């Protein structure tokens, strides 16, 4: 197949004669040959949207993609095969696939965000559409794929995550609404979660958790402080009596905080003896906005990187006007961060680097035998050389980013061609908070609740409804409170066809590791001629699921990217 017949739209070479990313315009999929292995993740790693949002894919999906590609590369080297990750011209699937392989290049091929992005831009191809927020209607604030790559790059160098020490089971278990709906954002500092209720129950199909449901998990993970941003639904003394600090910083659902609330949040977070659990109603908008300010202040992320990282950890975070508010606070946070580090460390360029990332297996093991107070000096080290990474200014002339940032109303009309809008309630009327009218957080929670129901025409036999062995019981299941018979109900617990959990055994096959070279692709060496029609229609809503799958750790270890100033022993 060549580019003249219109099937091959673009081709990018990430490793010479070994790893390619291509876009195909065809209704058939390539068949692997003795020389080339083809694979796609478009129908396997699927973003669960709230409204018109479509990405970026979360951290667990990125982890699973990296492990999958590592195994494929190992097999490919042994059999002397080329690997081609292909996607379609569908703009949403294409940008998510590109985000995955470019992030892989950053984490495993030692590319910079600009290098990985420039490879994606090689050849003639349509531009990558930008990501948008999880609000309804038209979006006027966008996050580009390059912003996401820079967020992954910075987070990796600051030790926010480490895929050699990452408990993907814990991530996937606790992000589910029936298991707590919580996500770590910054290691040993911030966890975002859905607001607790007065009792543990299921209401209108949505699991509600009492404060007591979180006690065990919070204590085992050194969470000492709870900050509530929404109206009072539970008695704060239930946290306080159990030894947690609790603070109320209320502002209206969907709105932005005033400067007094922002200062209180930053001060309390900085003084907290352990990690801080932050929640509003859904744990997305108000929660993500304030955590974003902390990340800009203490880690020098720009606003786009902060939004991108928080959404990678907790999809749907930071909504509507909260995005512009964060942009307005960017310079203030940078200046405040410099003053803070100058006063504490004597240098504005000394940044905290985490020795254990979020969902760290090693830290979990250490905490079983040591108190967190005794581990305090092992959790962080401070380095001024990492400031070169955080303050790096990209001088490359990348027209693609400029095009993405100017693509506003047009891209939204393409997402919603009929112009229909499912408006959220106005947040200007503060009385709505107390009158029982549905707010933005209510709408988002309702969408999450609907995800738990099986999709039409989908088998749920392969759905994991029980806790993985590695994750200890922490949250009380609401079913234990509302159970009406002796037989456990599996219907309520089952989640929709979440591809990472349900279909992983379909694609967690071949894998592996390799080298890096930046060259223009020689597609004459890649066999794209062997194609076969799809024998069965496969859609996101109708995919047969395999049962009996199991998770496997990567066969190979990730190449170590030394962090500046970090000792080998840490």
What is the structure's pLDDT at 445? 67
Quote the Cα angle for 100-102-103, to 5°.
Answer: 65
What is the structure's pLDDT at 26? 84
**Is the pLDDT reported for residue 177 higher than 50?**
yes
Span 229-241, average pLDDT = 97
Check whether residue 199 and residue 53 sit in a common domain. Answer: no
374: confidence class by pLDDT, cuts 50, 70, 90:
confident
What is the structure's pLDDT at 382? 86
Helix (H) or strand (E) holding 377: helix 372-379
What is the number of alpha carbons within 13 Å of residue 279 lying toward its C-beta?
24
Q: Which of 12, 194, 280, 463 is catalytic?
A: 280
Placement of tokens 């949207």 in the chain? 49
Residue 426 included in any domain: no
Boundary (domain end) residue, out of 309, 341, 375: 375
Residue 473 included in any domain: no
Average pLDDT for the chain: 78
What is the structure's pLDDT at 383? 78
Where do the H-state alpha helices sit in 80-165?
Answer: 91-108, 113-120, 145-157
Check whether residue 95 and residue 220 sit in a common domain. Answer: no
Check whether residue 162 and residue 139 sit in a common domain. Answer: no
Check whether residue 224 and residue 363 sit in a common domain. Answer: yes
Q: Are 86 and 22 in contact, with CB atoms under 8 Å apart?
A: yes
Check whether residue 301 and residue 403 sit in a common domain. Answer: no
What distance in Å separates the CA atoms of residue 60 and residue 23, rounded to the nearest whole number?
24
**Is the pLDDT reported for residue 245 higher than 50?**
yes
Does this model's pTM top 0.85? Answer: no
Residue 162 included in any domain: yes
pLDDT tens digits, 539-557: 333 333 333 333 333 333 4
Helix (H) or strand (E) holding 332: helix 321-345
In Å, what is the CA distance from 294 to each residue of 19, 186, 348, 350, 421?
A: 38, 10, 16, 16, 33
Percentage of the chain modeled with pLDDT above 90 = 60
Placement of tokens 């309702």 in the chain? 446
What is the structure's pLDDT at 549? 34
What is the structure's pLDDT at 180? 96
Phi, psi at 299, each rounded to 5°:
-125, 5
Check whether residue 214 and residue 82 sit in a common domain. Answer: no
Q: What is the dihedral of CA 355, 361, 362, 365, to 10 degrees?
A: 140
Q: Are 540 and 98 in contact, with CB atoms under 8 Å apart?
A: no
94: confidence class by pLDDT, cuts 50, 70, 90:
very high
Q: Are 100 and 59 in contact, with CB atoms under 8 Å apart?
A: no
| Number of domain units in the chain | 2
What is the structure's pLDDT at 172? 98
Q: Are 177 and 449 in contact, with CB atoms under 8 Å apart?
A: yes
What is the structure's pLDDT at 385? 67
What is the structure's pLDDT at 561? 41
Check whether residue 142 and residue 159 sit in a common domain. Answer: no
Placement of tokens 């088998």 in the chain? 459
Q: Are 512 and 75 in contact, with CB atoms under 8 Å apart?
A: yes
What is the structure's pLDDT at 282? 94
| Range in 209-213, 258-262, 340-344, 481-485 the model is least confident about | 481-485
Coil, strand or helix: which one is 116?
A: helix
Check whether residue 95 and residue 202 sit in a common domain. Answer: no
What is the structure's pLDDT at 189? 98
Check whether residue 86 and residue 138 sit in a common domain. Answer: yes
Residue 422 included in any domain: no
> What are 396's two structure tokens?
């490359």
| Range in 55-59, 111-115, 130-134, 477-481 the model is least confident about | 477-481
Check whether residue 108 and residue 164 sit in a common domain. Answer: no
> What are 270's two structure tokens?
């900085």
| Range in 164-173, 260-269, 340-349, 512-521 the model is least confident about | 512-521
**Active-site residue flag, 280:** yes
Domain that holds residue 116: 3-146+399-417+504-532
Residue 189 included in any domain: yes
Residue 490 included in any domain: no
What is the structure's pLDDT at 373? 85
462: confidence class by pLDDT, cuts 50, 70, 90:
very low
What distance in Å separates the CA atoms of residue 442 and residue 195, rounded to the nearest whole number?
11
Q: Are 48 and 451 in contact, with CB atoms under 8 Å apart?
A: yes
Assign 3-class secondary structure to 20-48.
EEEEECCCCEECCCCCEEEECCCCCCCCC
Check whether residue 187 and residue 136 sit in a common domain. Answer: no
Residue 13 included in any domain: yes
Residue 285 included in any domain: yes
What is the structure's pLDDT at 350? 93
Region of 119 (left: φ > 0; alpha: ψ -120 to 50; beta: rest) is alpha
Check whether residue 36 and residue 174 sit in a common domain. Answer: no
**Is the pLDDT reported for residue 129 higher than 90?**
yes
Please report, for the domain that includes residue 298, its CATH number: 3.90.190.10
Quote the Cα angle for 200-203-204, to 5°.
Answer: 160
């Amino acid at each position: 197949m060549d580019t003249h017949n219109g099937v091959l739209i673009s081709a990018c070479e990430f490793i010479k004669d070994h790893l390619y990313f291509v876009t195909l315009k065809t209704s058939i999929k390539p068949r692997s040959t003795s020389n080339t292995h083809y694979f796609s993740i478009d129908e396997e790693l699927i973003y669960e949207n709230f409204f018109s949002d479509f990405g970026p894919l979360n951290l667990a999906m990125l982890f699973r993609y990296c492990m999958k590609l590592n195994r494929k590369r190992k097999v490919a080297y042994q059999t002397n095969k080329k690997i081609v990750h292909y996607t379609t011209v569908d703009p949403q699937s294409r940008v998510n696939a590109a985000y995955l392989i470019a992030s892989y290049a950053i984490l495993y091929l030692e590319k910079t965000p600009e290098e990985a992005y420039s490879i994606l831009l090689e050849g003639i191809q349509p531009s990558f559409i930008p990501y948008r927020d999880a609000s309804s209607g038209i979006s006027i604030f966008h996050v580009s794929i390059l912003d996401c790559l820079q967020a992954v790059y910075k987070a990796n160098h600051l030790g926010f995550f480490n895929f050699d020490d990452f408990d993907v089971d814990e991530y996937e278990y606790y992000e589910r609404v029936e298991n707590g709906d919580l996500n770590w954002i910054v290691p040993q500092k911030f966890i975002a979660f859905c607001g607790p209720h007065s009792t543990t129950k299921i209401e209108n199909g949505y699991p509600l958790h009492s404060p007591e449901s979180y006690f065990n998990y919070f204590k085992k993970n050194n969470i000492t402080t709870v900050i509530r941003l929404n109206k009072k639904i539970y008695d704060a003394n239930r946290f306080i009596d159990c030894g947690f600090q609790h603070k109320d910083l209320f502002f209206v659902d969907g709105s932005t905080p005033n400067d007094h609330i922002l200062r209180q949040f930053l001060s309390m977070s900085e003084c907290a003896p352990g990690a801080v659990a932050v929640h509003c109603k859904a744990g997305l908008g108000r929660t993500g906005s304030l955590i974003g300010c902390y990340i800009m202040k203490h880690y020098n992320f720009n606003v786009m990187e902060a939004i991108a990282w928080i959404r990678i950890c907790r999809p749907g975070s930071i909504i509507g006007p909260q995005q512009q508010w964060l942009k307005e606070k960017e310079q203030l946070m940078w200046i405040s961060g410099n003053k803070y580090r100058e006063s504490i460390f004597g240098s504005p360029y000394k940044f905290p680097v985490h020795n254990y990332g979020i969902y760290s297996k090693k830290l979990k093991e250490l905490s079983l035998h040591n108190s967190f107070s005794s581990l305090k000096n092992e959790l962080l080290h401070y380095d001024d050389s990492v400031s070169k990474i955080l303050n790096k200014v990209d001088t490359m002339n990348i027209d693609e980013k400029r095009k993405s940032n100017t693509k506003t109303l047009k891209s939204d009309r393409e997402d919603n061609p009929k112009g229909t809008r499912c408006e959220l309630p106005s947040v200007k009327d503060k009385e709505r908070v107390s009158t029982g009218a549905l707010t933005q957080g209510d709408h988002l929670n309702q969408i999450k609740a609907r995800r738990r129901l099986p999709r039409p025409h989908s088998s749920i036999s392969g759905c994991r409804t029980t806790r993985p062995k590695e994750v200890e019981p922490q949250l009380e299941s609401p079913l234990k409170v509302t159970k009406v018979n002796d037989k456990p109900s599996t219907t309520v617990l089952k989640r929709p066809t979440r591809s990472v959990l349900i279909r992983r055994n379909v694609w967690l096959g071949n894998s592996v590791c390799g080298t890096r070279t930046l060259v223009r692709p020689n597609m004459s060496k890649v066999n794209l001629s062997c194609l076969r029609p799809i024998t069965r229609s496969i859609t996101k809503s109708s995919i047969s699921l395999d049962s009996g799958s199991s998770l496997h750790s990567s066969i190979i270890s990730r190449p170590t990217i030394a962090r500046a100033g970090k000792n080998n022993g840490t």
